[in-house]
Amino acid sequence: MASPPARSRLGRPTREEAEQRHADMLETALDMFLEKGFEQTTIEAIATALGMTKRTIYARYEDKAALFKAAVQQAIERWIMPQDQLEALTEKSLEEALLAIARLRVAHVLTPQGLKMQRILTAEAYRFPEIFASAYDQGSKPVIAFLSGLLQRHHDMGAIHVPRPFMAATVFLGMVVGGPTRTIALGAKFDPQDVEDRLTFSVSLFLDGVRSR
């Protein structure tokens, strides 16, 4: 467990403390938006939960919608898959790389932060379509772009026939991630072995469809 930031001698919060307090504010706000929904959550309730005044929150955010968007943005930033995890897969065979990407993506989505993201997108994207766009642009699109490049390289080598690699990458991720994560995000229990079997089957099915003949 990380050590708590040192306090200023004069009693004023250090920059590290202020940043952590802000992060805690957004995390608490997101949890309350998830629990009660956007409409039923109030700035007053969030402030009370944090032990601060409404004025403190309004000093940063002009209204509840601005606070909500900031809370979701923080969740997106914590949810993004590190690029170095993907780059480490470039030396693997295509089948190994696809299976590794599938496992990483599903495991990443199934983290507490990932599940929060799925739930908030399911519940509020109709009201705030921009949060879905942000989650896609920052979280999903880089993975699709990496996978697209991987498929393009193997296409150029003649191992597979994928004339539209970006679309193929999108379809692949939909196969391996879409179904299980939506179900789990809605509260369904899952068997890790069932998930693994689905990923293995999906990778084999995808490769059978794109291998050069």
- Contact between 78 and 23 under an 8 Å Cβ cutoff? The reply is no
**Sign of the CA dihedral with 190 first, then 191, 194, and 198 last:** positive
Question: What CATH number should be reported for the domain whose range is 81-210?
Answer: 1.10.357.10
pLDDT of res. 171 = 94
Tens-digit pLDDT string for the chain (213 aa): 344 444 444 457 788 888 888 999 999 999 999 899 999 999 999 999 999 999 999 999 999 999 999 999 998 888 888 888 888 888 899 999 999 999 988 888 778 778 888 888 888 888 999 999 998 999 889 999 999 999 999 999 999 999 999 999 999 998 888 766 666 666 667 778 888 888 999 999 999 999 987
- Contact between 160 and 167 under an 8 Å Cβ cutoff? The reply is no
- Contact between 72 and 180 under an 8 Å Cβ cutoff? The reply is no
Question: What CATH number should be reported for the domain whose range is 15-77?
Answer: 1.10.10.60
pLDDT of res. 25 = 93
Q: Which of 18, 61, 65 is nearest to 39 (CA)?
A: 65
pLDDT of res. 210 = 93
pLDDT of res. 181 = 65
- The ranges assigned to domains in the chain are 15-77, 81-210
pLDDT of res. 4 = 44
**Sign of the CA dihedral with 56 first, then 123, 196, and 176 last:** negative
pLDDT of res. 185 = 62
